[in-house]
A and B are shown apart, each in its own frame.
Chain A
Amino acid sequence: MLIHAHNLSFSYAQQTVLDDISLSLQAGQLIGLIGPNGASKSTLLKLLAGLYKPQQGDIQLLGKPLSAWPARERGRVLAWLEQQGAIHWPLSVERLVALGRLPHLTPWQTISAVDEAAIEHTLEATNVLHLRKRSAQTLSGGERSRVLLARALAGQPRVLLADEPIAMLDLAHQLQIMQLLRDIAQGEAGVIVVLHDLSLAARYCDQLYLLQQGRVVAQGTPPQVLTEALLRKVYGVECAIQWGHIPSITALYPVP
């Protein structure tokens, strides 16, 4: 068990944001968090990343309470990919991706051959090798998303928490990144990804958690969660769902 979260509740400014949520991530699993805007998917991810502390419930990372992990050690096993993450200085792509290795370095250590190899591998896997010398602030939206994902992967984490990593991408890159996440979620590692594209969620994820207003409305395999009735209830949209080799979901807007 990579992550086991139990009965999480979180409120902010006296407003309950997450209410009694339980979630577990196994090694080799790709979990999708779906739900309408404002469902607190990102907040849940931040809780799992240790950025916020839940008021109730507990989170175990590799069998140890998340809060008991020393920050740098935690950084080595868990990576969080911010939604539209910031890049504050025009660092080169190479240097930016190398930041992912920071949890592996003591304050005075510089990048070693092992780190170099990991960076190289990640640059290649995310298809940004050709950009390595480019300034990270001059990238297109798609390139930028891939570079930031590469940063998160450079630390070779066991758990990747990715917040809408494909939001800015074109169709080809969306498929490419989802395939990459699928490939990562193998063996020792697992991924939790926040998604809006339900077809891609259906196609790539092992498990889906459907959230609405801070509660888990449904949980299970894609066919269990993505039902026309549930989507009608949660999104207020009439949908047609076809399960095939490539599942597809067509949204039909309700006739007034």
Chain B
Amino acid sequence: MRYSLLVALLSALVLTLFISSLMIGRNPLPIWQAAQASLHDTSSIVAIILTEIRLPRALIGLSVGATLGLCGAAMQGLLRNPLASPDLIGSASGAALGAIIVLYYGWQANFSYLLPLASMVGALLTTLLIFVLTGRSAGITTLILAGVAINALMGAMMSLLLNLAPSPYAMRELVLWTLGDLTDRSMDDFWLMLPFTVLGWLLLLGIGHGLRALSLGEQTASTLGVQTLWLRWRILLAIAFALGAAVATTGMIGFVGLVVPHLLRPLVQYDPARLLPVSALGGAALVLAADIGVRLIPSESTLQVGVLTALVGAPFFLHLILRSRYEQI
């Protein structure tokens, strides 16, 4: 498929899902009238529902999905490993732990930027730890095992900290962090995550040639003029910024960063550079779709968006492991 056609199709898909996300809610919303109302008369009820409830949800879904796809593609390119993704190796759970420390113990009440910042530090430290643990060209098994250990540790810490948190509601919210949730986020949340998200995305601009060169291994890449150490740090920081902000806002939405780049890779002829923008679009589409899904599935209480992405992603992950086993042996 032509690259420009693929980008156009994915963009159209994202746009369609974005508008659908605005239309789906507790009650039907005449979206066109609501949009007009929100331009002329910001005080009408439909305008409030559109701009303060549905719009932030769709915008957050869009940007978090894009971040997850992008970070997955960048990490897979950097580690040259189709099974690497920020949620599997533990970056996301580190971010969630950071957010939990700040949110439930009241630190963020005085300074709201502390929430995304703590998440970023969490993501940075866990990713760094994984990079140090697994070395420069991480084998699949090492990477996954390290990820399992980190995820288990972070999960235990999250559970412990929520248990000890002063709020009586804290413990029940573990599921929001482990499975991700977009319910009732506000524009405040979106504005809080946006600068860090954009900063993370900007850091990934122009790394395409570097990732391409890495297809030949780290040393060949550096003889091709790629500053591999700087590239690593850039991707590490980008993941910390964008993923940290995303997880602080929605919790961990699993498998998007794994599945999306992997599905799209053949469509860009395995080019790790072109994979970045299409993975961002694909990730946005997947998260928006999953978030529409959880609102359409009739359930007693709200269903977490990560439930749907995991239902799609986990079998896919098993399939990948199986395939990589045949290829390796």
Contacts and interface: CB of A to CB of B under 8 A. Distances in A.
- Indicate if A touches B (C-beta under 8 A): yes
Interface of A: 46, 49-51, 70-76, 78-80, 82, 85-92, 95-96, 99-100, 102-103, 105, 107-108, 151, 155
Contacts of B208: 107
Contact of B225 (A71, A96, A108): A71
A95 B269 contact: yes
Interface stretch (B16-24, B26-34, B102-110, B210-218): B210-218
Contacts of B68: none
Contacts of A70: 225
Nearest to A102: B224
A102 B206 contact: no
B282 to A, nearest CB: 17
Nearest to B270: A89
B225 A92 contact: no
Contacts, number: 81
B220 interface: yes
B112 interface: no
27 contacts: A49-B223, A50-B222, A71-B227, A74-B223, A75-B223, A75-B225, A76-B225, A80-B223, A82-B219, A85-B220, A86-B80, A86-B217, A88-B214, A88-B216, A89-B215, A89-B270, A90-B270, A92-B269, A95-B269, A99-B213, A100-B224, A102-B212, A102-B213, A102-B225, A102-B226, A107-B207, A107-B208
A49 B221 CA distance: 12
A105 B210 CA distance: 11
Interface string B220-251: 10111111000000000000000000000000
B270 A82 contact: no
A33 B29 CA distance: 76
Given A88-B214, A102-B213, A82 B225 contact: no
Contacts of A85: 216-217, 220
Nearest to B265: A89
Given A74-B225, A96-B215, A107-B206, A89 B80 contact: yes
A102 B209 contact: yes
The 6 closest A-B pairs by CB, nearest first: A72-B225, A75-B225, A88-B80, A107-B206, A89-B270, A86-B217
B270 A91 contact: yes
Contact of A103 (B215, B216, B224, B271): B224
Most buried by A among B216, B222, B270, B272: B216
Given A46-B219, A82-B216, A107-B209, 5 more contacts: A71-B225, A80-B223, A82-B217, A91-B271, A107-B207
Contact of B215 (A50, A74, A82, A99): A99
Given A91-B270, A91-B271, A102-B209, A75 B224 contact: yes
Interface of B: 80, 206-209, 212-217, 219-220, 222-227, 265, 269-272
A99 B212 contact: yes
Nearest to A81: B220
Given A82-B217, A87-B215, A107-B209, A95 B223 contact: no
A105 B217 CA distance: 19
B269 to A, nearest CB: 6
Contacts of B217: 82, 85-86, 88
B223 A78 contact: yes
Contacts of B225: 70-76, 102-103
Contacts of B265: 89
A88 B215 contact: yes
B238 to A, nearest CB: 15
Contacts of A90: 270
A79 B222 CA distance: 10
B269 A51 contact: no
Contact of B222 (A51, A73, A91, A151): A51
A51 B223 contact: yes
A244 B19 CA distance: 80
Nearest to B79: A88
A92 B224 CA distance: 19
A87 B272 CA distance: 13
Nearest to A155: B224
A32 B150 CA distance: 48
Contacts of A75: 223-225
Given A91-B270, A102-B209, A107-B209, A151 B216 contact: yes
A50 B226 CA distance: 12
Given A51-B219, A99-B212, A108-B206, A89 B224 contact: no
A118 to B, nearest CB: 14
A107 B231 CA distance: 13
Nearest to B227: A71
